[in-house]
């Protein structure tokens, strides 16, 4: 008796699963950075163009393939062409790498969440030094939020060569994160389908609350105005367009096999075109929504720092010159400085080196992305808000939901091919396979909890998925259009869903999107080649800031291995299939 393939209980669960997977941390911490760097409001132009030209067609393609083939990535591509199951294997390998390092972010989010239930927040004050006369030296040089991140959370070593030991606190949080992921994927679509209701909707609730709070903060408008003012000249900068394309590509999570896996649990008659459009539109609007929140928080933080700086200068001058209290204000500061310089020149020269030039623009100009934004800049802004514990809990809870939602997709990409294969699923039940995958990932993930773990995390983050995904999606598009045949695929879709395929999709799949991907690929390769040696940012505890260092040779070898292990799957498996077929043909011919 053939076991029926598990299905989503309602199409809504499928949509929520896709949204929960696509809307992830990148929307919160990468898009605002890009928006700021490439012209503020004018970045939206290349972003939306790329969404329509690249994002929607490729998303629709993946969902359609999954829904048509009704198998995980390996099985689906094997059905399209036996030589192409390497694409599926490459997707699984990339998803495996991703799930290894991505869950560490959830572990960090747990760590910060657990520490948010204290008064005062531990990252808002520096610890005092041994004889209680001052603050800890590293904390003085850096800020308290940086100190908490680099010293208390990561306990980072000065370079990637110094590995250090596994830190038990992040290790515990990592184990908890994996247990939570296991709990969610334990029963397959049955459990995942219920969990995605929360992981998809709760981040929006928190973002909405933060939007209201953010817009009412003092100085929020400074940030919004500064960031969103369009700088039209950036439209001519090719980097803006390339980054828009890259952001759309990676934000939707194409090429990992997760979308194929999710779509394979659909009813064949499901209207995946509508869902593709909905998911991609929601993903992009969430990015824009999150950047409004982020910029208002930036504005608040910058204004706060600017005013603190001004107050320090006022204090310094008032004390040095014994001025009347309240005499110096922000508005008359420059005039009084001029007067003091002329009236008491010698004293003024003494004090002058300590007077800092406070500028709101320099504060706003600090553009941060990635874990630095989430765990340093945001926490700095939160600690200055009222009832900061509440805002902190909400924020890290949202990060957790976003991260777990993406993890569900990643693990689905690994598990669906495994549970589809008869060889493995006949030996082990689904729960055992999931448990094994989670256990292996958790054990390898302990590397990221060592003292040099953050440097390895950066390696994986920058190199594990980027080039390989571009290649995978390129091969996917070319395979569907030219190997399987666009007309054959079109008639399959019409038989499945009952809708005719629009000319727009055909044009995009056959022509525009592959060209775009090829250009992105060429750009990335040339970028890597031109920069020569790869470098990374290391934390210098004595200086209290980041310094740039070169990767040692073995790290470079591992980077090469990461990229090669996924990209080489495609040709190697094709070659292997070819050889086995030749051998089989050689065997059968004498027999016939």
283 annotated ligand binder = yes
Q: How many angstroms separate the Cα of 169 from the Cα of each of 222, 280, 454, 475?
A: 39, 37, 15, 42
One of 47, 108, 182, 241 touching another protein (CB under 8 A): 182
| Residue pair 107/442 in contact by the 8 Å Cβ criterion | no
Q: Which stretch binds another protein (CB under 8 A): 272-280, 334-342, 413-421, 440-448?
A: 334-342
- The interface mask with another protein, positions 208-247, x = CB under 8 A, is ----------x-----------------------------
Q: Any bridge partners for residue 547, and if so which?
A: 538
2 binds another protein (CB under 8 A): no
Sign of CA dihedral 444, 449, 455, 461: positive
One of 45, 125, 235, 510 touching another protein (CB under 8 A): 125
Comparing CB distances to another protein, the nearer of 38 and 306 is 306
Two tokens, residue 17: 């699963």
Phi, psi for 263 (deg, rounded to 5): -70, -20
What is the distance between the alpha carbons of residues 28 and 40, in angstroms, rounded to a whole number?
A: 16
One of 120, 268, 560, 571 touching another protein (CB under 8 A): 120
180 binds another protein (CB under 8 A): yes
What is the distance between the alpha carbons of residues 251 and 91, in angstroms, rounded to a whole number?
A: 16
One of 79, 81, 143, 191 touching another protein (CB under 8 A): 191
Minimum Å distance from CB 190 to another protein? 10
Q: Which stretch binds another protein (CB under 8 A): 333-341, 451-459, 470-478, 495-503?
A: 333-341
318 binds another protein (CB under 8 A): yes
330 binds another protein (CB under 8 A): yes
Q: How many angstroms separate the Cα of 329 from the Cα of each of 263, 311, 319, 337?
A: 62, 8, 14, 11
**Of the candidates 532, 524, 530, which has an alpha carbon nearest to the alpha carbon of residue 242?**
524
538 annotated ligand binder = no
Comparing CB distances to another protein, the nearer of 153 and 284 is 153
- The interface mask with another protein, positions 74-113, x = CB under 8 A, is ------------------------------------xx-x
SS (H, E, C) 487-538: HHHHHHHHHHHCCCCCHHHHHHHHHHHHHHHHHHHHHHHHHHHHHCCCEEEE
204 binds another protein (CB under 8 A): no
- The interface mask with another protein, positions 341-380, x = CB under 8 A, is --x----------x--------------------------
| Residue pair 263/26 in contact by the 8 Å Cβ criterion | no
SS (H, E, C) 45-91: HHHHHHHHHHHHHHHHHHHHHHHHHCCCHHHHHHHHCHHHHHHHHHH
118 binds another protein (CB under 8 A): yes
6 binds another protein (CB under 8 A): no
Comparing CB distances to another protein, the nearer of 308 and 491 is 308
Comparing CB distances to another protein, the nearer of 63 and 407 is 407
What is the distance between the alpha carbons of residues 333 and 313, in angstroms, rounded to a whole number?
A: 9
439 binds another protein (CB under 8 A): no
Q: How many angstroms separate the Cα of 61 from the Cα of each of 18, 106, 166, 467, 480?
A: 14, 30, 42, 20, 9
One of 2, 322, 334, 587 touching another protein (CB under 8 A): 322
402 annotated ligand binder = yes
Two tokens, residue 579: 């050889």
183 binds another protein (CB under 8 A): yes
Q: Which residues of 231-252 are buried (b: 16+ CB within 10 A; e: fewer)?
A: eeebeeeeebbbbbbbbbbbbb
Minimum Å distance from CB 21 to another protein? 21
Kindly identify the residues of this chain, within the stretch 269-308, that bind another protein according to CB under 8 A.
307-308
Two tokens, residue 162: 């110094």
The packing angle between helices 168-185 and 388-420, to 10°, is 60
429 binds another protein (CB under 8 A): yes
Q: What is the DSSP string of 218-261?
A: TTHHHHHHHHHS--GGGGG-HHHHHHHHHHHHHHTTTTSSHHHH
Minimum Å distance from CB 147 to another protein? 13
22 annotated ligand binder = yes
Residue listed under structure tokens 């204000």: 329
Comparing CB distances to another protein, the nearer of 111 and 463 is 111
One of 161, 311, 359, 526 touching another protein (CB under 8 A): 311
The H or E element spanning position 363 is: helix 360-365
5 binds another protein (CB under 8 A): no
Comparing CB distances to another protein, the nearer of 195 and 412 is 195
128 annotated ligand binder = no
Minimum Å distance from CB 122 to another protein? 8
| Residue pair 61/257 in contact by the 8 Å Cβ criterion | no
155 binds another protein (CB under 8 A): no
One of 132, 422, 500, 585 touching another protein (CB under 8 A): 132
In a 10 Å sphere around its CB, with 0-12 CB exposed, 13-18 middle and 19+ buried, how is residue 482 labelled? exposed
431 binds another protein (CB under 8 A): yes
Residue list, annotated binding site for Na(+): 22-23, 27, 251, 283, 402, 406
> Under the rule (CB under 8 A), what is the footprint of another protein?
110-111, 113-115, 117-118, 120, 122, 125, 127-128, 132-135, 172-173, 176, 179-180, 182-183, 186-187, 191, 218, 307-308, 311-312, 314-316, 318-320, 322-327, 330, 332, 335-336, 339, 343, 354, 429, 431
Per the annotation, binding residues are: 22-23, 27, 251, 283, 402, 406
């Amino acid at each position: 008796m053939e076991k029926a393939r598990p299905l989503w209980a309602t199409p809504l669960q499928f949509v929520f699963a896709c949204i929960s997977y696509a809307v992830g941390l990148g929307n919160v911490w990468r898009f605002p950075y890009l928006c700021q760097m490439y012209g503020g409001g004018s970045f939206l132009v290349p972003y939306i163009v790329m969404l329509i030209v690249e994002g929607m067609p490729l998303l629709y393609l993946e969902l359609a393939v999954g829904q048509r083939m009704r198998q995980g990535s390996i099985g689906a591509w094997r059905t399209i062409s036996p030589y192409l199951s390497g694409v599926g294997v490459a997707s699984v390998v990339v998803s495996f790498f991703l799930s290894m390092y991505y869950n560490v972010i959830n572990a960090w989010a747990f760590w910060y969440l657990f520490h948010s239930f204290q008064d005062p927040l531990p990252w808002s004050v520096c610890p005092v030094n041994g004889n209680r006369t001052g603050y800890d030296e590293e904390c003085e040089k850096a800020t308290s939020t940086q100190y908490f991140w680099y010293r208390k959370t990561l306990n980072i070593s000065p370079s990637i060569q110094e590995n250090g030991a596994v830190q038990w606190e992040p290790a515990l949080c990592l184990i908890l994160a994996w247990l939570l992921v296991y709990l969610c994927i334990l029963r397959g679509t049955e459990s995942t389908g219920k969990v995605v209701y929360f992981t998809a909707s709760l981040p929006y609730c928190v973002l909405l609350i933060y939007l209201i709070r953010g817009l009412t903060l003092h100085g929020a408008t400074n940030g919004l105005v500064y960031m969103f003012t369009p700088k039209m000249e950036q439209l001519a900068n090719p980097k803006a367009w390339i980054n828009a394309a890259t952001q759309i590509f990676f934000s939707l999570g194409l090429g990992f096999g997760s979308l194929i896996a999710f779509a394979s649990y659909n009813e064949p008659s499901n209207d995946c075109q509508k869902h593709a459009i909905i998911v991609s539109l929601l993903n992009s609007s969430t990015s824009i929504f999150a950047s409004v929140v982020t910029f208002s928080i930036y504005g608040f933080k910058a204004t706060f720092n600017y005013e603190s700086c001004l107050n320090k200068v006022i204090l310094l001058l008032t004390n040095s010159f014994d001025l009347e209290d309240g005499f110096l204000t922000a508005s008359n500061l420059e005039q009084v400085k001029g007067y003091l310089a002329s009236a008491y020149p010698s004293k003024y020269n003494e004090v002058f080196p300590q007077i800092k030039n406070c500028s709101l623009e320099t504060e706003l100009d600090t553009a941060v992305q990635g874990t630095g934004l989430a765990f340093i800049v945001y926490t700095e802004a939160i600690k200055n808000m009222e009832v900061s514990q509440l805002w902190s809990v909400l924020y890290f809870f949202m990060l957790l939901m976003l991260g777990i939602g993406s993890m569900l997709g990643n693990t689905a990409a690994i598990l669906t091919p495994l549970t589809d294969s008869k060889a493995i699923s006949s030996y082990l039940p689904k729960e055992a396979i999931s448990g094994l995958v989670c256990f292996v990932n958790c054990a390898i993930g302990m590397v990221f909890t060592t003292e040099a773990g953050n440097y390895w995390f950066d390696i994986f983050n920058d190199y594990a998925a980027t080039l390989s995904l571009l290649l995978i999606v390129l091969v996917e598009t070319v395979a569907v259009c030219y190997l399987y045949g666009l007309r054959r695929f079109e008639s399959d879709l019409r038989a499945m869903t009952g809708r005719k395929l629009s000319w727009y999709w055909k044009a995009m799949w056959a022509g525009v999107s592959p060209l775009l991907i090829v250009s992105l690929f060429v750009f990335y390769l040339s970028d890597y080649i031109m920069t020569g040696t790869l470098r990374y940012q290391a934390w210098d505890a004595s200086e209290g800031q980041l310094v740039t260092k070169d990767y040692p040779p073995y790290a470079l070898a591992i980077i090469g291995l990461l990229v090669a292990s996924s990209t080489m799957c495609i040709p190697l498996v094709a070659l292997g299939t070819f050889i086995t077929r030749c051998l089989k043909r050689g065997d059968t011919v004498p027999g016939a």
